[in-house]
Structure 1
Amino acid sequence: MLKNAPFRSDEFVSFQFKWGEGNDLVNSYDSATGDYQYLNKKDSLVKTNVKLRENDIIYLHHKASELGFWNFPDVISNAGTDLNKSKVLRYVMQFNYKRKTKKVIFVTDYNEIAKLRDVAKQMETLLEQSINDAQERYGKKK
């Protein structure tokens, strides 16, 4: 199944990860540039640059394949949710390949299919943890 996957690791270019309440996605990371901005505990916007290692990127691609990210619906939200009006925390995960892109919006109050919610949450946690680990590595070098 992995050999026939529409998203191959040798064609991987980058990923973007954004999150916030409603349409206000002030927290973001772009693996292509390393640009990372987030609101800290004091609600101050922190802008920094954090580059992931190549093996981190490959790991995330393989975990996405393992979790079935390519089969996720484009929007994971409860039926009837108006994304333009909802103020619930959401995550936007986008993987970019040479010929294709997969973008998923995950609204955290989703409760219709528990397994889908759990794997979407797991994917979000993997991305967040990878970025935080890389930031910690960079922080220790300074």
Structure 2
Amino acid sequence: MTVKQKWYIKIVAVVFIAIVGAYYTTKLRSGGRRAAAFISLNYRWGMGDTLQNSYDSKTGEYIFLDQSDRKIRESFKLRTNNVIFLHSKINQEDLLNIPDTIANAGANLKDPKVLRYEFEFVYDDTVKNIIYLTSYDKDPLIAAKASTLQKTVQQVISEAEERFAKR
């Protein structure tokens, strides 16, 4: 191998490393949501056009139907550790990197027979809204991420509710 060929190989290697480094730096900056930038979460779920169950982390208002279909109102806020756990799980699983609407093509978003979840994550610089219909069956990876997001949010709210109930 000549000196000139070795020189070209070194240049290509340096350029490749620079491109890969820039790609991952950009991905880390834009991909993950920071818990410090979190302002509020609005989570609603139910069937049909009226979502009767909801939690608003800004006001702490939690409204849900019990097993007797009675409306229960509670008030509690998420603690910092709840927000940190939520965001670590979101970033670990890349849960907010899904479409804004997760429903089959032509599906009625207000179908009275399909369970629907709506999420609104408010950050300092952006708002992420997601609508998830449990009947979605097009892409199993997206369906799994949406289901994991729903379960994670519900887990965080349930833990905060348990803490409130122990007072």
In the superposition, the TM-score normalised over structure 1's length comes to: 0.91
Match of 2:16 in 1: none
In structure 1, how many angstroms separate the alpha carbons of the residues matched to 2:30 and 2:103? 28
The secondary structure found in structure 2 opposite 1:13 is strand
Deviations 1:73-116 (A, max 9, x none): 11001111021445310000111011100010000011111111
Match of 1:68 in 2: 94
Q: How do 1:1-142 and structure 2 match up within 5 A?
A: 1-5=27-31, 7-85=33-111, 87-141=113-167
* Bigger Cα Rg: 2
| 1:122 aligned partner, one-letter code | T
Please, what TM-score do these two structures have when normalized by structure 2?
0.78
1:76–1:110 contact (8 Å) kept in structure 2: yes
* CA–CA separation in structure 2 for the residues paired with 1:80 and 1:4: 31
Check conservation: 1:7, 1:100, Cα contact below 8 A: no
**Quick one: structure 1 residues 60 and 6, their matched pair in 2 at CA, closer, same or farther if it must change by over 3 Å?**
closer
Please, which runs of 5 or more residues in structure 2 have no aligned partner? 1-26
Distance 1:30 1:47, change over 3 A: same
> How far did residue 6 of structure 1 move?
6.7
Higher strand share: 1
Query: What is the CA–CA distance in structure 2 between the aligned matches of 1:25 and 1:70, rounded to whole Å?
Result: 22
Kindly indicate whether the alpha-carbon contact (under 8 Å) linking 2:53 and 2:64 is maintained by their aligned counterparts in 1: yes
Report the counterpart of residue 8 of structure 2 in structure 1.
none
Preserved CA contact (<8 Å) 1:2 1:65? no
Between 1 and 2, higher relative CO (CA 8 Å, sep ≥ 6) is seen in: 1
Name segments (4+ residues, structure 1) moved above 4 Å. Answer: none
Give the percent of matched residue pairs that are identical in Structure 1 and Structure 2. Answer: 37
- The Cα shift of 1:46 comes to 0.3
Aligned counterparts of 1:113 and 1:86: Cα–Cα separation in 2: 23
